[in-house]
Each structure stands twice: as C-alpha cells, then as structure tokens.
C-alpha cells in the first residue's frame, strides 16, 4: 500500500514538472505583431521578397519596443509598430491596401487600451495616410468608439492627421489582383495575406492591441471586416490578454474571436495558449481561415493560425526580434 501511494506521489510530481516545463517554454515578450495569414508557403515568394518581409517585420518590432524601453505606453508602441507596416507596400494596410470593386481603397483600423477599456475604430478611410492614427484619435478625442467613411475622415482632418491623394495607395500588384478578380467574377478568396496588427505590454503592465487592413480584394457595398470591430478582430483587457486577428473577417465577426479568447482566459481559467489555439482550430471547422497574435498579463506570446502561413514576430524587452513567415518556421 505504501509503495502504491509513493508511486502515485512520484507520478504527480513528474506531471507537475512537465506542466511547469511546458509553460516555461512559451516565449515572453513586450510586443508581438502580424502581417496577415493566408496562402504564403515556403518557395511561393522569391528570396529577396522574403527578406524584405522579414526585415520590415523586424523594423516594426524594434520601433515598437523602443517606445516600451523608454517607459512609453503600450498604446504608443502598438501604434508605432502598425504605422511602420502601414507605410510599407508589402502589406494589405495603408500604402499596400487592396482595391474594392469600384477600384478604390477603403481601409479599416482599430486600437484598444487594456487599462481603461477605451477603444477607437474607423472604417472606409480613403485619404488618411495612416488609418491606425484615425483609430487612435477616436480613442483619445471622441465620445464615440467607431466612425465611418466621410465622417471618419472629417474627424481625422479636424485632428490634424495627414491627408494624401488617393493615388498614394496605388500599387500595380494590387490593381492587377482586382482585374483578375473581376475577370473571374469571383472574390480573391486566397488573398488574405497582409492585414497588420500588434499587441504590446508596457512596463506598467498595461496591455493594448491594434489592427489595420485594406480589407478584401474586390469587396463591394461598403463591406466591413473584423479588424475594426472590437471583440472580433481586436481586443485588450489588463490582467487578461491583448489580441489582434487576421483572416476571413466574416467568420471572425460571427464567432467574436478576439473576445472569445479573452473570455476563456477570464472565466474558464484557460491559458492564453490553450484558449487561442482552440478558438483558431474550431474556427477552421466552421470554414474560417486565419490566425491571431496575443499576449497575456505575463507577456506570454501566442501566434496560432490555421493557414499555410502567417507573417508574425515578437520581441522581448532586451532580446533580438524573432520573425517567422511559414508554418514550419
């Protein structure tokens, strides 16, 4: 009897050790970013393009981290990291935004402060250089949470944000994708890559999350995806987690993906790893492709996705940036 009890105790100790070891292996960070999830797989882009993606992601991480290292806020770190990705034609946000059926660019963005629960979002942005700045201005200076179209742009101009001619957002590759979609009379369903997002944890323990996108190629009727919808594509709550999503927005809206992850952590006491992985795996069974990035209150990094690849990366307070593109990175 004594030996049986002793064996049970030893087994329990071993299991506890394995659980602790697994938890310790999860990377810790102050900033995590994504550049979209979708068709990307090893060999599908040239070496030079792959390096361009990796370098831009690293630059974004370093810029965002510099804010936190200097004692700045997680909100500022998220905004700066996303602005850098918006300024690159490589991603479907800001400069690299895809075209609507009407051959225009309509961009969406959102940002949320985990410390206060305040949020700002905008949709249908067409002439403001950095859409994430519109979301931040709404958070900081508006009694509303979500502004759209002409009203959002009017508000942005009142706040002194930089306006550009619509030609600024023109890229030949994205225009060619639109023409291809129109010719085939179909939406480009594989072209999910490019939405950008960031989640940060500052030195005061405050979480923030933000997302910015150009939406879907050939989208019609003022379509709005999940990126600017708080709880669907973007969510942050101190002590719980920050989440930014990318993928087929309709599914992320229907299943309130970002908040579902937070709720599992908050009410079911799940780890951020378990919560985010289960949500993204379940989403795929419903037909929803994409992924999320996230941090919990301890800075634990998650980056699950159910597609061939997701542009992603994270950085700690003192370490080098870590970036990945493919499922086997």
| Residue 302 pLDDT grade (very low, low, confident, very high; cuts 50, 70, 90) | very high
pLDDT in tens, 251-275: 999 999 999 999 999 999 999 999 9
Contact of 303 with 314, CB cutoff 8 Å: yes
pLDDT in tens, 112-161: 999 999 999 999 999 999 999 999 999 999 999 999 999 999 999 999 99
Contact of 281 with 264, CB cutoff 8 Å: no
Report the half-sphere exposure of 83 (CA within 13 A, side-chain side): 18
Q: How many residues belong to the chain?
A: 329
Distance, in Å, from the CA atom of 212 to the CA atom of 223, rounded to the nearest integer, reads 15
Contact of 306 with 295, CB cutoff 8 Å: no
Contact of 181 with 168, CB cutoff 8 Å: no
- With a CB cutoff of 8 Å and minimum separation 6, the contacts of 168 are 95, 129
| Token code pair at residue 48 | 């030079």
User: For all residues of the chain together, what is the average pLDDT?
Assistant: 91
- Other C-beta atoms lying within 10 Å of the C-beta of residue 52: 15
Taking CA atoms, 230 is separated from 36, 75, 84, 128, 236, in Å, by 18, 15, 22, 21, 9
Would you list the DSSP string of 225-252? -STTSBTTTEEEETTTEEEEEEE-HHHH
> Worst-scoring range by mean pLDDT, 35-44, 46-55, 74-83?
35-44
Q: Is residue 13's pLDDT more than 70?
A: no
Please give the helix or strand (H or E) that residue 112 lies within, else none: strand 107-113
User: What is the set of active-site residues?
Assistant: 195
pLDDT of amino acid 109: 98
Mean pLDDT of 183-208: 80
| Token code pair at residue 121 | 């979002």
Question: Domain map of the chain by residue range?
Answer: 27-326
Distance, in Å, from the CA atom of 90 to the CA atom of 113, rounded to the nearest integer, reads 27
pLDDT of amino acid 19: 32
pLDDT of amino acid 228: 98
Q: Is residue 6's pLDDT more than 50?
A: no
Name which of 255, 315, 240 is nearest 290 in CA terms.
255
Would you list the DSSP string of 273-301? HHHHHHHHHHHHHTT--EEEEEEETT-BE
pLDDT in tens, 271-280: 999 999 999 9
Distance, in Å, from the CA atom of 234 to the CA atom of 97, rounded to the nearest integer, reads 19
Scanning the structure block, which residue is given the tokens 């206060």?
116
pLDDT of amino acid 26: 79
| Token code pair at residue 232 | 């669907």
Q: Is residue 234's pLDDT more than 80?
A: yes
Distance, in Å, from the CA atom of 2 to the CA atom of 116, rounded to the nearest integer, reads 55
pLDDT in tens, 159-176: 999 999 999 999 999 999
- One of 3.60.150.10, 3.30.420.40, 3.40.50.970, 3.60.20.30 is the CATH number of 27-326, namely 3.60.20.30
pLDDT in tens, 70-104: 999 999 999 999 999 999 999 999 999 999 999 99
| Token code pair at residue 197 | 């997002």
Contact of 244 with 121, CB cutoff 8 Å: no
pLDDT of amino acid 185: 60
């Amino acid at each position: 009897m004594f030996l049986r009890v002793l064996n049970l105790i030893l087994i329990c100790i071993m299991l506890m050790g394995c659980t602790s070891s697994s938890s310790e292996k999860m990377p810790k960070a102050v900033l995590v970013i994504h550049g979209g999830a979708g068709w990307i797989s090893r060999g599908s882009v040239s070496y030079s393009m792959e390096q361009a993606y990796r370098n831009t992601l690293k630059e974004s991480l370093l810029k965002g981290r510099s804010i936190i290292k200097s004692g700045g806020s997680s909100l500022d770190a998220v905004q700066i990291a996303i602005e850098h990705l918006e300024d690159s034609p490589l991603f479907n946000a800001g400069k690299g935004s895809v075209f609507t059926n009407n051959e225009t660019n309509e961009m969406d963005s959102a940002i949320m402060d985990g410390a206060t629960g305040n949020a700002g979002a905008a949709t249908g942005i067409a002439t403001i250089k950095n859409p994430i700045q519109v979301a931040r201005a709404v958070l900081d200076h508006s009694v509303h949470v979500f502004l759209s179209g002409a009203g959002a742009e009017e508000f942005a101009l009142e706040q002194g944000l930089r306006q550009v001619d619509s030609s600024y957002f023109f890229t030949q590759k994205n225009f060619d994708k639109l023409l291809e979609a129109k010719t085939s009379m179909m939406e480009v369903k594989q072209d999910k890559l490019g939405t950008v997002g960031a989640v940060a944890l500052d030195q005061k323990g405050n979480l923030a999350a933000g997302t910015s996108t150009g939406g879907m190629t050939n989208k019609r009727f003022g379509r709005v995806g999940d990126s600017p919808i708080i709880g669907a594509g973007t969510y942050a709550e101190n002590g719980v987690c920050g989440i930014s999503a990318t993928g087929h927005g309709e599914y992320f809206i229907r299943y309130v993906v970002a908040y579902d992850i937070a709720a599992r952590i908050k009410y079911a006491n799940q780890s951020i790893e378990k919560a985010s992985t289960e949500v993204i795996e379940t989403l795929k069974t419903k037909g929803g492709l994409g992924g999320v990035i996230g941090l919990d209150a301890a800075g634990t990094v998650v980056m699950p996705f159910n597609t061939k690849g997701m542009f992603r990366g994270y950085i700690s307070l003192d370490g080098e940036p870590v970036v990945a593109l493919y499922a086997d990175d």
